Structure 1
Amino acid sequence: MGTPRSRRSELATPASSERMCAKAPRWGADLVFLDLEDACAPLVKESARSIAVEALTGQDWGSTLRAVRINGLDTVWCHDDIIEVVTGARDALDVIIVPKVRTARDVWWVDVLLTQLEQKLGLARRIALEVLIEDAEGLANALDIARSSTRVEALIFGAGDLSVSLQARVDGNFDPLGRYPGDFWHFARTQVLTAARAAGVAAVDAPFPAYGNPDGYRSAATQAALLGFDGKWAIHPSQVPLANDAFTPTSAEAAAAQDIVERYRRAEADGTGAIGHDGRLVDAAHARLAANVLTRSRTAASGPVAGVAPDA
């Protein structure tokens, strides 16, 4: 496998809004998804498909990944979401985001339909999938879901609907309503992250609805990055640079990682399995950790350049 596609920031954009879809490519997000699901009221879900197709095909997206979140498989809109958007956008669509995935069979259904469409339309590239783990059954089946299709490139932790499924007592930012020891969502996050890593796909952290609280978003993104997540959803353009920063190793971190890798390689070539550096032991595990940092740095460099400042 080559260098994975950068997913530090995934910006949500209502597919029903021509104005917001027109602005979406400029914010510098690694991925933008035009949302046909929660961001669209039932009355405009069908008309939003053509707006999404026009936005995907009629603009220069640069290196930003172009995605659409379809409606759930248990809705009347899902089937036509896939057919109409793929038929209209064709090779201008990189990723479909599948919400509320509960079992591997859910992914299989989308995979089969996409395969038929790609063959029928003669598409040059396979459309990738990202799947939302936002249901108790989906969380329990996360590993099977992550391994269900070679199209799956990322698992997304969805705290909002998971709160509903688990009957959690949380506020509008999915934080506990009372005192809770530690990170309220640590177990669920780790479940999603572990499944993603075991399957060799990316892990993307949940949205942070309180877009007027940049410090809170920065803190949440930093915690997710420390755990090992590759990126985080942004529900407002102002959150994009915060996510890009949190999931990009600093130049000092990259330089230190490169130094560790080079020192260990030289020692290994001399037949030494562990060395001392700055008063600490450095062995094979440390070298692999450093290699992870370098991989993240290269992946971040493949993402789009910073966008213009968002509207207030």
Structure 2
Amino acid sequence: MAAVPDTSEPEVQQIATLRAGDDVQGVFACTRKERLMSRAGTPYLALELRDRTGAIPARIFRDADVAAARFERGDLVRVAGRVERFREELQLDVRAIAAAAPGDADPAAFLPTAYRDLDELDGFLEHLAREVHDPGFRALLESLLADDALRRAWRTAPCSRNGHHAYLGGLLEHTVAVATLAQEACLLHVRLNSDLLITAAIVHDLGKTEEFTYGAEIGLSDAGRLLGHVELGLRLLDERAAGIPAMDAERRLALAHCVLTHHGPDSAPNRRFGSPEALALHRLNAVDAAIKGALEQGLGLDS
């Protein structure tokens, strides 16, 4: 297998625009690498290559073991090949491949991003926070929204790696959607504590700002892998609320219960919702996740 041509020309080919017969030379993220055997008994590599616009399966049939030594899954790889149609699907027949040189491309440029404008979503988030009037909850939200580093992480994080909102900015998009649903639910059910429910909707997934890593693909941080986003969020909120006198024990407990049970009551000590607001948050969170999952991945997605 020939060495990959070294070129400093900007890469303009995008996976979403590739067609059968296209020659490809560019840098992509390798998100699958598997050594398989052909019917003839010779090894080949099955790959998935991805950029911000999508993914394409790829195959290396010649000198597969030699090629395999040149890169790993999760690397950015410089590829030369040709797009072919196989069983009604496009795939890339790779002629040459190697790990891209450091500085060839920014790994984050290969990750999928939110469909909606993040500045617009930021504005919606601030508007929703202003709908909270309780002094303790409002002070908590003001403290969180004034944290520039946290806001950047909020704009960057996905909601998941393979499920709903699985792209950069997905967390902010989901947060705004759930908080908007919470606001509407409070208009329909006036006995709900709107300050508690809207606050809980805004912060319920806040731990995801610490859950992920960003390279050629979205990964889990050590904290995300060992603790998960619910525990990370509870710790973050507890630390921030400790400096706000108006966030008394009653408010902190009510908010923590909503965050703890937003995936369902099994996380509660008695496996029951302790407030109508906790039940509402769980249902509203599930509605947005299920609808988004169905729109992006079909009705078979398990929400």
TM-score with structure 1 length normalisation? 0.24
Per chain length, whose mean CA-contact separation is higher, i.e. which structure has more relative contact order (CA < 8 Å, sep 6+)? 1
Richer in strand (by share): 2
Whose radius of gyration is greater, 1 or 2? Answer: 2
